[in-house]
Amino acid sequence: MNALDTMKALAATSEVRVAQAGEVIFSSGESGASMFGLLEGTVRLCWTTSDGSEGYELIAAGNVFGSGALVTTDHRRLGTAMAETACRLIEMNREKFLFAVQESPMFAIELLASVDERLRDLKLSERS
């Protein structure tokens, strides 16, 4: 099981969201109150580094993103997430996140593993 599987198990129909290609899911600098699990499609996460250069990551179906919003107080999004293709997403708020961690502590480990894998992939792509 992975973090997205746990999100799917807990999701209500109302928490599944559709985004069309080009639609902004969240913007850099805005307050974040939820994370997302990508059921279908691809999301482009773009950011500006401290030296002013721009970077991006393509997030594929099966991954989660935006989890920083659930673990830091007064979180501001560090990047902009935009649907690269038509997408289906699960949106999870802090209340549901805390419930998931309490009821299934492995969810926290799965989420950390997902973030770690994405960071490793990002680092490897920067070297290429």
pLDDT tens, position by position, 61-116: 999 999 988 888 888 999 999 999 999 999 999 999 999 899 888 998 999 898 88
Total domains present in the chain: 1
pLDDT tens, position by position, 17-76: 999 999 999 999 999 999 999 999 999 999 998 888 899 999 999 999 999 888 888 889
pTM of the model as a whole: 0.86
Cα–Cα distance measured from residue 99 to residue 116, given in angstroms and rounded to the nearest whole number: 22
Cα–Cα distance measured from residue 98 to residue 105, given in angstroms and rounded to the nearest whole number: 10
On whether residue 126 sits in a domain, the answer given is: no
Q: Which residues contact 96 (CB under 8 A, 6 or more apart)?
A: 10, 15
Cα–Cα distance measured from residue 29 to residue 86, given in angstroms and rounded to the nearest whole number: 24
**For residue 85, what is the domain's CATH number?**
2.60.120.10
Full domain range(s) for residue 114: 3-120
Q: Which residue has the tokens 């501001």?
A: 76
